[in-house]
């Protein structure tokens, strides 16, 4: 992998995004909406402080994880929609360089989101070290999981084609809904308790609720598994598509 190529692709992603008013509004509106809605809920005193803090952290992790994953996949989708994907590769860019540049871009946006969230939680909504500690402790878990899912979904779309682009923005949302974000696993029916363990975010939310070290370790292991699984899927489906159908009509 060539660092200068990754850098050039990352700068290209930044220019393409921030010269597009629609992309800029999308990047700003959805995270800010989450922040305002749940920040005001936290500050209102409607719910008990501990519960309000949990709901604030869970919902903002949901938003940040979405940025990590969705923005990486959107950069890939824009190359596919504009029919530039195959042209870029023909110019000597390697597929891993393209994926890494997308991940660097989305990760940077996600971390900026997190910093903005922490600032407003503390200075606008009266939050404190509990929320800051929870966000930062869990960052490796939801970041690695989201990056793994971005690679996985990217591989699926490359193989299946542009008509399956919806996977890029629905996949993570479905997995998070399957993670039991608002209720402990123990309260779910037996069959559902097994199903939610498939999601990499299940133990993230359990740790937010109970602070158990075992949940953190399980979440970290699962996030690493998803990162490796996503990397495998990206390479496997890209190569399978290239060898069987070609890349021109992805």
> Does 28 fall in a domain?
yes
Q: CA 207, CA 134: separation in Å to the nearest integer?
A: 9
* Cα R_g (the chain), whole angstroms: 19
Domain count, the chain: 1
3-class DSSP assignment, residue 180: coil
The pLDDT value given to residue 47: 62
Interval 70-113: pLDDT, tens: 999 988 888 888 888 888 888 888 889 999 999 999 999 999 88
Q: Is residue 141, in this structure, part of any structural domain at all?
A: yes
Within-domain flag for 71: yes
Signed CA dihedral, 181, 185, 186, 187: sign only = positive
Helices (H) and strands (E) in the chain, counts: 10, 0
Q: Which domain holds residue 158?
A: 3-244
The per-residue pLDDT for range 160-191, each reduced to its tens digit, is 888 888 888 888 889 998 898 888 998 888 88
First to last CA, the chain: 24
Q: How many of the other CB atoms lie within 10 Å of CB of 47?
A: 14
Distance in angstroms (rounded) separating the CA atoms of residues 147 and 144? 5
Looking at the whole model, is its pTM more than 0.85? yes
Residue 45 lies in a domain: yes
pLDDT at 249: 57
Q: Is there a contact between 230 and 152 (Cβ–Cβ < 8 Å)?
A: yes
Residue 250 lies in a domain: no
DSSP 40: H
In a domain, 232, yes or no: yes
């Amino acid at each position: 992998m060539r660092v200068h190529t990754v850098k050039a692709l990352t700068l290209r992603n930044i220019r393409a995004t921030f010269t597009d008013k629609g992309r800029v509004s999308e990047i700003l509106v959805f995270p800010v909406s989450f922040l305002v809605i749940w920040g005001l809920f936290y500050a209102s005193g409607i719910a008990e402080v501990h519960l309000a803090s949990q709901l604030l952290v869970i919902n903002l992790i949901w938003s940040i994880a979405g940025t990590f994953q969705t923005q990486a996949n959107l950069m890939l989708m824009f190359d596919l929609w504009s029919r530039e994907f195959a042209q870029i590769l023909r110019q000597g860019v390697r597929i891993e360089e393209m994926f890494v540049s997308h991940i660097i871009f989305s990760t940077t946006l996600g971390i900026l989101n997190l910093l903005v969230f922490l600032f407003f939680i503390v200075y606008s909504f009266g939050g404190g070290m509990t929320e800051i500690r929870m966000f930062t402790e869990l960052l490796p878990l939801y970041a690695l999981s989201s990056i793994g899912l971005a690679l996985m979904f990217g591989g699926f779309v490359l193989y299946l084609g542009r008509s399956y682009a919806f996977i890029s923005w629905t996949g993570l949302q479905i997995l998070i809904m399957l993670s039991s974000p608002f209720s402990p696993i123990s309260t779910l029916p037996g069959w559902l308790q097994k199903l939610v363990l498939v999601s990499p975010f299940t133990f993230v939310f359990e740790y937010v609720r109970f602070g158990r070290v075992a949940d953190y370790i399980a979440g970290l292991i699962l996030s690493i598994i998803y990162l490796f699984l996503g990397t495998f899927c990206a390479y496997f489906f890209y190569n399978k598509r290239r060898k069987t159908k070609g890349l021109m009509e992805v």
